[in-house]
């Protein structure tokens, strides 16, 4: 099958789609408007008529709150949270007016996405909404979120929602056409990358910094979102949502943006959680031999390869694993606490019990509890 045909088949076949709508589309001139949202709503209607279930992750609550109250843009977290609380019902009203289906407000926190009981409860609620023919409109619950425990941007939130709802396709709409091999604002000859088979260091390097003044995301967060979603087997499309013709083409299976292909087979759920969802408690730095064994041989991390320990790590905490040059190349679950790791770092396994005064696990991180940032292709 030709590549264009394969792409068309992937875009036509999803049963469940998550659509992220960026601030530049919700509030292009300051207050939220239907300037771009009308075409997006038509795309949602077309998708639903084709038998697809649709979830929307919508930015714009702060912009809606600012438009309602006037004044300057928020400078502090309480100001932003207050404006989000004011703007969220106005944003919901706008979506309710635009869509030909009932809508439901769903506000999620980081904890809802990383703790199993809350994750499963959120999944069940979303499934019930979709079964009732409702379009969930999702945002982060900014009013209660704190910096240390928040998703932070709606690109990554959309990826988490795609995983939560077991979607087949994630569509990230903004005011850029897709991923370019260089920043098109600085390099006029930059070329659009139509298909990405795998997000690796080279693809991440193509991503730039922050995007529009009204949003928190840029290409970097979009590539992060694509990496999260594709790792769990979810195709991801970056598309210019300001062009109604591109949305119409997508509905017909024609790509006019960038497709990030889903990994096949997808990453196991536990390893995906470890790499992409849960925060880490600290960092373990390892020597070159240990890094090579972890990367190339699928080995467990032993105390003998440990060089330094940073952070308040407890037994069972997720940690990142780095080389001595500072490159973070893996994440894993530590079987020892920081005070134990400091005592046994660099020691052979046979000496660990004598140092601690009790028998501990054979490995600092077992290979079943370790995932590489860039696994071999």
In the chain, % of residues over pLDDT 90:
70
Angle at the Cα of 307 (from 305 to 311), degrees rounded to 5?
120
Average pLDDT over residues 329-351: 96
Q: Quote the CA–CA distance of 125 and 107 in Å, as a whole number.
A: 12
Angle at the Cα of 118 (from 168 to 279), degrees rounded to 5?
80
**Are the beta carbons of 28 and 35 closer than 8 angstroms?**
yes
Is 63 a residue whose pLDDT tops 70? Answer: yes
Average pLDDT over residues 283-305: 97
In the chain, % of residues over pLDDT 70:
93
Strand residue runs (E) in the chain = 16-21, 53-58, 103-108, 135-140, 169-174, 195-196, 235-240, 258-260, 282-286, 306-311, 318-322, 328-333, 370-372
Q: What does the pLDDT read at residue 211?
A: 43
Q: Quote the CA–CA distance of 152 and 173 in Å, as a whole number.
A: 17
Q: Quote the CA–CA distance of 83 and 140 in Å, as a whole number.
A: 13
Question: pLDDT-derived band of residue 272, with 50, 70 and 90 as boundaries?
Answer: very high
Residue with token string 């096949």: 264
Average pLDDT over residues 194-209: 86
Average pLDDT over residues 104-130: 94
Task: Out of 126-130, 171-175, 273-277, give the one with best mean pLDDT.
Answer: 126-130
Structure-derived torsion over alpha carbons of residues 327, 116, 360, 364, reported in degrees to the nearest 10: -10
Q: What does the pLDDT read at residue 259?
A: 95
Q: What does the pLDDT read at residue 288?
A: 97
Average pLDDT over residues 184-203: 90
Q: What does the pLDDT read at residue 151?
A: 73
Question: pLDDT-derived band of residue 216, with 50, 70 and 90 as boundaries?
Answer: very low
Q: What does the pLDDT read at residue 152?
A: 73
Average pLDDT over residues 168-173: 96
Q: Quote the CA–CA distance of 248 and 237 in Å, as a whole number.
A: 14
Which residues is 328 bridged to in the sheet?
322
Of 117, 108, 182, 168, which is closest to residue 144 (Cα–Cα)?
108
Is 197 a residue whose pLDDT tops 50? Answer: yes
And the tokens for 376?
């071999």
**Are the beta carbons of 281 and 311 closer than 8 angstroms?**
yes
Question: pLDDT-derived band of residue 5, with 50, 70 and 90 as boundaries?
Answer: low
Average pLDDT over residues 367-371: 96
Give the CA distances from residue 130 to residues 54, 103, 123, 127, 165, in Å, rounded to whole numbers and listed in that order. Answer: 8, 10, 11, 5, 10
Q: What does the pLDDT read at residue 147?
A: 56
Among 44-48, 251-255, 356-360, the range scoring the smallest mean pLDDT is 251-255
For 79-110, the pLDDT digits (tens) are 888 999 999 999 999 999 999 999 999 999 98
Helix-strand-coil percent breakdown of the chain, rounded to 5? 40, 20, 40
**Are the beta carbons of 61 and 139 closer than 8 angstroms?**
yes
Domains of the chain: 3-271 (3.40.1160.10), 280-372 (2.30.130.10)
Q: Encode burial over 363-374: b for 16+ CB neighbours within 10 A, e otherwise.
A: bbbeeebbbbbe
And the tokens for 235?
């195709």
Mean predicted lDDT score pLDDT of the chain: 90
**Could you say which DSSP state residue 358 is in?**
S
pTM for the whole thing?
0.89
Is 318 a residue whose pLDDT tops 90? Answer: yes
């Amino acid at each position: 099958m030709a590549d264009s045909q394969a792409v068309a088949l992937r875009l036509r076949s999803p049963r469940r789609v998550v659509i992220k709508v960026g601030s530049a589309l919700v509030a292009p001139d300051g207050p939220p408007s239907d300037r771009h949202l009308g075409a997006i709503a038509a795309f949602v209607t077309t998708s639903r008529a084709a038998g697809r279930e649709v979830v929307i992750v919508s930015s714009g609550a702060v912009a809606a709150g600012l438009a309602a109250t006037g004044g300057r843009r928020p400078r502090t977290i309480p100001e932003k949270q207050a404006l989000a609380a004011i703007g969220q019902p106005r944003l919901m009203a706008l979506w309710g007016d635009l869509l030909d289906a009932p809508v439901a407000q769903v506000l999620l926190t980081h904890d809802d996405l990383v703790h199993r009981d809350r994750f499963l409860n959120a999944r069940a609620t979303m499934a019930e909404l979709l079964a009732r023919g409702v379009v969930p409109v999702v945002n982060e619950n900014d009013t209660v979120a704190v910096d240390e425990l928040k998703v932070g941007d709606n690109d990554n939130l959309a990826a988490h929602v795609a995983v939560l709802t077991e979607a087949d396709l994630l569509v990230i709409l903004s005011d850029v056409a897709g991923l370019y091999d260089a920043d098109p604002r600085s390099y006029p000859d930059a070329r659009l990358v139509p298909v990405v088979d795998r997000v690796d260091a080279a693809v991440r390097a193509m991503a730039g910094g922050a995007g529009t003044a009204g949003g928190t995301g840029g290409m970097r967060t979009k590539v992060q979102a694509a990496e999260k979603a594709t790792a769990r087997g979810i195709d991801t499309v970056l598309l210019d949502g300001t062009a109604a013709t591109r949305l119409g083409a997508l509905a017909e299976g024609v790509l006019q943006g960038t497709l990030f292909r889903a990994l096949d087979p997808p990453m196991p759920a536990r390893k995906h959680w470890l790499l992409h969802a849960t925060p880490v408690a600290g960092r373990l730095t390892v020597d070159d031999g240990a890094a090579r064994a972890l990367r190339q041989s699928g080995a467990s991390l032993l105390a003998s390869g440990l060089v330094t320990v940073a952070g308040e790590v407890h037994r069972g905490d997720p940690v990142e694993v780095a080389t001595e040059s500072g490159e973070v190349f893996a994440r894993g679950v530590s079987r020892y606490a920081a005070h134990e790791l400091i005592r046994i770092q660099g020691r052979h396994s046979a000496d660990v019990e004598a140092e601690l005064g009790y028998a501990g696990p054979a490995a600092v991180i077992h290979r079943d509890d370790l995932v590489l940032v860039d696994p071999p292709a």
